[in-house]
Amino acid sequence: MTEKWMEIRKGADFKKIGEAFSIDPVIARIIRNRDVIGMDEIEMYLYGDADKLYDPKLMHDMEKAVSIISGKIKEGASIRIIGDYDIDGINATYILLKALRELGAKVSVEIPDRQKDGYGINENLIREAKEAGVDTILTCDNGIAAIDAIAYAKEEGMTVVVTDHHDIPFEETESGKQHLKSNADAIVNPHQEECQYPYKELCGAAVAWKFVQALYEKNQVASDRADEFLENVAFATIGDVMDLTGENRLIVRLGLERLHHTKNLGMRALIFQNNLTMEQIKAYHIGFILGPCMNASGRLDTAKRSLQLLLAETEREASECASDLIALNTSRKSMTEEGVLEAFELIEKEGIDKQKVMIVYLPDCHESLAGIIAGRIRERYNHPVFVLTKSEDGVKGSGRSIEAYSMYEEMTKCKDLFLKFGGHPMAAGLSLKEENVPEFIRRMNENCTLKEEDFYPVVSIDVAMPLSYITEPLIEQLDLLEPFGKGNTKPVFAAKNVELLRARVVGKNANVLKFTLLTEDGRTIDGVHFGGVEEFFSYIAEKFGKDAVEQLKMGKAEGVKLTIVYYPDINEYNGRKSIQVVIQKYR
């Protein structure tokens, strides 16, 4: 797949910024590349603390929602929290449940079953709540699009408060977009047009936490009690792949600090049983190790298992819950690999990669894995992808998109085909009748206006920086840019004409390449590349000849020069520290 390597060139006085904040101009350039502009914003980015977080009461309907729930608590009315089955929904549910219990509420919880209920609040869940004597429904991480379900709840005489973060549903009319709104008693969602909250990209758990902050203030509970949930908000923000910009980035940084000393028995057990320590947890560990364990329960069993982990009151209970989640995630990984292989075979067999919007129907695939498989297909082909699976009531699917294609907006153009749909520009979910699948494929592709160049993945390079510029202090300053994630990606560096003196294969599975590189000023520096050993040597043989491969292996190479994309770090071995560069791409 053709890649476009492009250096980001955004202007600013990097020397002045560097002097103002005692940082290297390279660090200043990277911050500017993240669209952090102005001294106040840069200061918040580098050193912001809790007093920089926005007032929750700025959200539309916040005070109304708080007043309703406060009144219901005093009345002793039965309140039911309805959450969601992913990391975000689980943590949002936990935050609301713990807070309402602390306030003495008569509160219960329901998390929809992915296969039986599907996403979000529905009439069955409302009917069950009504039969159980529930007076008030409080949603988290869902509810903004549940217009019919909420109308039914209101007909049944129930009070409904929605806290959500998903895009506001809309219809295309002759006069443009017409946003749709339920008749819930209060709706707290920063995406509402009338909402004046300064930052819009909060996850569902963050919105729930903001609600709890305001609720505690109304009921004269110390604000630091709400701060105890910051670790859950950070976990959810990373797990739901929200942009780590503005307030989100600050929330995650503060939450990670708390997670390093967490008192939550479930969190501790999950960390320890994944052979990690609390102090080492970064966004990466949540996104790729801990988060998938929490998500696995909602995919293959019930998300209530993950909620039980967070609510565990003894170390034994926490340990058992963590073990169960890790086992479920191991099973999930195995099932995912099978699904990915089946998808790739089908794509090649049926020429699905010729579609602009790749739609892959895997009837026997577990529906909870569709989104993960769609993501893996997108990684390989860099096309918008939907993976469809057969369900009890038709076909369900999940989509993963590319930057040039707003998935949710494109789906609205053929919404008549769906039984249910929703999502974001980069991801979406849907259900439809099986007979509508061919028409779905046809219309999504006919409507697609993507051009060939839109499918070329772009490697955005922050700084073209010679290896001779790398120093230990510069590498240490890179930590100021943490946490890394969507919207605040790990910096990418590039260097031209890097001379390779030696390459050797290391690692238990012989899948790591260790290099000796020559810097521009004549020094040597270590390099490392993970995976693709045979591909690397094949590339060298093709570009420089077979003899060059043997010379590299013997440490006698001459004239083997590559342009590399890399990241500098410190390698520690036997108590000794040395600079090395992790080579991510080469050509």
Per-residue confidence (pLDDT) for residue 174, from 0 to 100: 80
Compute the chain's Rg from CA coordinates.
26
pLDDT (tens digit, 9 = 90+) per residue, 122-134?
999 999 999 999 9
Per-residue confidence (pLDDT) for residue 345, from 0 to 100: 97
Rounded to whole angstroms, the Cα distance separating 274 from 295 reads: 15
Rounded to whole angstroms, the Cα distance separating 367 from 373 reads: 10
Q: Please calculate the CA angle 168-172-176 and round it to the nearest 5 degrees.
A: 95
Per-residue confidence (pLDDT) for residue 572, from 0 to 100: 86
Per-residue confidence (pLDDT) for residue 173, from 0 to 100: 82
**Considering the domain 52-222 in this protein, what is its CATH number?**
3.90.1640.30
Residues of the chain with pLDDT under 70: 1
Cβ distance 186 to 57 under 8 Å?
A: no
Per-residue confidence (pLDDT) for residue 507, from 0 to 100: 85
- Give the alpha-carbon dihedral of 175, 432, 86, 319, to 10 degrees: 180
Rounded to whole angstroms, the Cα distance separating 151 from 444 reads: 31
Rounded to whole angstroms, the Cα distance separating 182 from 192 reads: 12
Rounded to whole angstroms, the Cα distance separating 377 from 387 reads: 9
Per-residue confidence (pLDDT) for residue 169, from 0 to 100: 86
How many other C-beta atoms lie within 10 A of the C-beta of residue 555?
Answer: 11
Altogether, the residues listed in the chain come to a count of 587
Q: Please tell me whether residue 291 adopts helix, strand or coil conformation.
A: helix
Ranges of each domain in the chain:
4-8+459-586, 52-222, 351-455
* Tokens standing for residue 259: 């997670």
CATH of 351-455, one of 1.20.120.80, 1.20.120.530, 3.10.310.30, 3.40.225.10: 3.10.310.30
Say whether the peptide bond before residue 292 is cis (omega within 30 degrees of 0): no
Per-residue confidence (pLDDT) for residue 253, from 0 to 100: 96
- The DSSP call for residue 51 is G
Q: Please tell me whether residue 126 adopts helix, strand or coil conformation.
A: helix
Q: What is the pTM of this model?
A: 0.91
Nearest residue to 105 via CA among 59, 141, 74: 74
Per-residue confidence (pLDDT) for residue 552, from 0 to 100: 96
Q: What are residue 187's phi and psi, to 5 degrees?
A: -130, 120
**Please, which residues bridge with residue 103 across strands?**
none
* Tokens standing for residue 172: 């295309």
Per-residue confidence (pLDDT) for residue 1, from 0 to 100: 62
Per-residue confidence (pLDDT) for residue 150, from 0 to 100: 97
Q: Please provide the DSSP assignment of 524-556 as one string.
A: EEEEEEES-HHHHHHHHHHHH-HHHHHHHHHT-
Say whether domain 4-8+459-586 belongs to CATH 2.40.50: yes
